[in-house]
Amino acid sequence: MDEIVCETSQPTSDDTLDRSVIGQFRESDTAALPDFALVLIEQFVLEAESQVELLRNAGQRGDAQAMKSAAHCLKGSSLTMGATRLGALCARIETHAADFAEGGASDLMLDVDQEFIKVRNALAAER
């Protein structure tokens, strides 16, 4: 009789965080910089918090250009860190900033806020 083997390891990718990206950062750790991944995680969280706040404030002011700029920055850093869903949400805001600046971004901004919390929690687990 054949034995059934169940895979119990965590998946390397999900909608919130592609853990293989963090794994690649860990592989980059060297004797000169042994905590490279940790430094990147901490820097990302600090900068992303600031960008989310800038994005929220720009949306409240109806400033399409500031929304586009903040969304672009957050999208890039999110995708670099493997936060694919957050990056996709930001890409949507960046593409449609003019429409969202007229009051249509509140639901999407809520999605960004909630996804950032998920990303931050996922990254905390990676520390």
Each domain of the chain, given as residue ranges in start order, spans 19-126
- CA 78, CA 92: separation in Å to the nearest integer? 13
Q: Mean pLDDT per 10-residue run, the chain (127 residues)? A: 36 72 83 79 96 93 92 97 96 88 76 96 91
Q: Are 127 and 38 in contact (CB under 8 A)?
A: yes
Note the pTM of the prediction, 2 decimals: 0.82
Per-residue pLDDT at 67: 93
| pLDDT single digits (tens) 35-68 | 888 999 999 999 999 999 999 999 888 899 999 9
Pick the CATH number of 19-126 from 3.40.50.980, 3.30.70.360, 1.20.120.160, 3.40.50.300: 1.20.120.160
